[in-house]
A = this chain, B = another copy of it.
Amino acid sequence: MTAVTVWNEYRHEREGGRAAEVYPDGIHATIAEFLDERGFDVRTATLDEPEHGLTEEVLEGTDVLTWWGHEAHDEVRDEVVERVRERVLDGMGLVVLHSGHFSKIFRRLMGTTCDLKWRDEGETERVWTVEPGHPIADGVAESFEVPETEMYGERFDVPAPETLVFASWFEGGEVFRSGCCYRRGAGRVFYFRPGHETYPVYHQPEIQQVVANAVSWAGPVDGPTPSFGRSADPPERE
């Protein structure tokens, strides 16, 4: 059973307003609930816990980490970012959600600015499945709408995804590479655009299906641990 840690900044929802209404127990609670219902072994962690809830022990027991952050990316401590990065390179999956594009961990793994265009006017997004044969498209429709959401538009300054699974259309005239697969070290990374703190995107079944698929896909593989550094003898003489 895949062990998932759902990480959330958990600030907007405690500040009251629309975020508190849509996600009264935090975005992480909503995500954890739908993953739990689908049979994953789920725990949560948030920014204001000690070590942001991401101790060595927690990460060691995590197969896939999901990441949501927005207004407090800079408060995530560098040593925790590095710890997460090392676990990803070692094989842990990472699913980065929406405004997590600007998280330290995603930018660190991509090497680029991860910048984009945005406009928050409640426009309709239509998500298109570009690769219907990919595991993350399992049970997903050819296209589906997010009725009201923030727009993200190209240029999305990331390395070209190894596989592009979804692309989004926005009412106002933009497109976006919405579902992007990467491999870093032995770990797999999936960026999924939809999601926001004040729109009920994570309550939408299609979105839940994609996030669950991404978690399944990103789980670690029992492949070889490469040896690095000085290789004393040519292998054929061993």
**Interface residues, chain A, with chain B CB atoms under 8 Å away:** 85, 89, 91, 108-113, 115-119, 123-124, 126, 128-135, 137-143, 145, 151, 153-157, 159-160, 162-164, 167-175, 177, 182-188, 220-237
CB-nearest residue of chain B to A234: B172
Please name all residues of chain B whose beta carbon is closer than 8 Å to the beta carbon of A89 when the two chains form the complex: 112-113, 157
Contact check, B164 vs A160: say whether CB atoms are below 8 A apart.
Answer: yes
The answer to whether A236 and B112 have CB atoms under 8 Å apart is: no
**Complex alpha-carbon distance, A134 and B219, angstroms:** 10
> Given A154-B167, A231-B118, A235-B172 in contact, is the A140-B110 Cβ separation under 8 Å?
no
Closest to A116 in B: B228
Question: Contacts A130-B155, A223-B132 hold; do A160 and B183 have CB atoms under 8 A apart?
Answer: yes
User: Can you name the residue of chain B whose Cβ is closest to the Cβ of A126?
Assistant: B173
Q: Which residues of the other chain, B, contact A132 by a CB distance below 8 angstroms?
A: 155, 186, 221, 223-226
Residues of chain B within 8 A of A142, CB atoms compared? 155, 224-227
- Choose one: B110, B139, B229, B236; the contact of A172 (CB below 8 Å): B236
**Cβ contact within 8 Å between B173 and A140:** no
* A128 CB to nearest chain B CB (Å): 5
Evaluate contact between A129 and B223: CB separation under 8 angstroms: yes
CA distance A135 to B216 in the complex (A): 12
Q: 7 pairs across A/B with beta carbons < 8 Å?
A: A119-B230, A133-B188, A133-B223, A134-B183, A157-B185, A160-B164, A164-B164
Give A110's nearest chain B residue, CB to CB: B111
Q: Complex Cα distance A159/B161, Å?
A: 11
A221–B138 touching, CB < 8 Å: yes
Q: Are B235 and A126 in contact (CB under 8 A)?
A: yes
A165's closest neighbor in chain B, by CB? B223
Q: Which residue of B lies closest to A163 (CB)?
A: B160
Q: With the chains together, A66 CA to B96 CA distance in Å?
A: 33
